Amino acid sequence: MRVVLLGPPGAGKGTQAERIKDKFRLTRIATGDLLRETVRRGTSLGRQAQDFMLRGRLVPDRVILALMRDKIREGVSGFILDGFPRSITQAEKLDKLLEAENKKLDLVINLEVNHNEMISRLKGRVICPECGRTYNKDEFVDQPLICKDCGTHLSQRSDDNPDAIEERLKVYLRHTLPLVDYYKGKGILRSISGKGSPQGVFQRIVDLLYSPGSIGI
């Protein structure tokens, strides 16, 4: 099964992709995580990406593709993509990469959340720099901001500041949202409400994948 998870920043793609990966034994390929790791390592690709990320812009395609090409080939028997593709150009590149392996996408899950929910999730988001788990500050009233899995101090992502959030939303509307129609046209898009608890959203995704006529399983 080859799945793409689509949705605006703050929709909960990371959380859901992690669960889908575990339940259906897929390789999770998350561009945002790969990029942050590349930035941390300070490689030339990382230096090229950093500035774009801090401002909430899309990292240039040649950087993304250099990072993704091998990952997609390696995971081609079953993957969930989180954060890629983010534009029509990237979607066409992905189609070509898969075609070269005689494969195609099975399903695109579109996570829908409204504007206000998105903003409040992004503003309240804290992450564990050690293990990558994400939380919302609301979960820690009167408690220290410490990861429940590994005890590390949580911090805010450097692009979760008001300016970068606004820019990421603009970029989403302009470049990523057109993918909804792109994949509708291919007949593989399914939309799911991203509202409510992570467990509730996950259940809707599982129901979708098991529903009769689903292209999932």
Query: Could you give phi then psi for residue 194, rounded to 5 degrees?
Result: -90, 10
Catalytic residue among 57, 123, 157, 204: 157
- How far is residue 179's CA from residue 111's CA, in Å, rounded to a whole number? 13
CB of 24 to Zn ion, least distance (A): 24
79 near ligand ADP, judged by CB under 6 A = no
CB of 197 to Zn ion, least distance (A): 20
Going by C-alpha positions, the residue among 151, 106, 110 that lies closest to residue 128 is 151
Which listed residue (66, 150, 173, 217) binds Zn ion by CB under 5 A?
150
Which listed residue (79, 84, 183, 202) binds ligand ADP by CB under 6 A?
84
Which listed residue (26, 45, 53, 205) binds ligand ADP by CB under 6 A?
53
Q: What burial class does residue 121 get, using C-beta atoms within 10 Å of its C-beta: 0-12 exposed, 13-18 middle, 19+ buried?
A: buried
DSSP state of 174: I
* Catalytic annotation present for 28: no
* Footprint on this chain of Zn ion (rule: CB under 5 A): 128, 130-131, 147, 149-150, 152
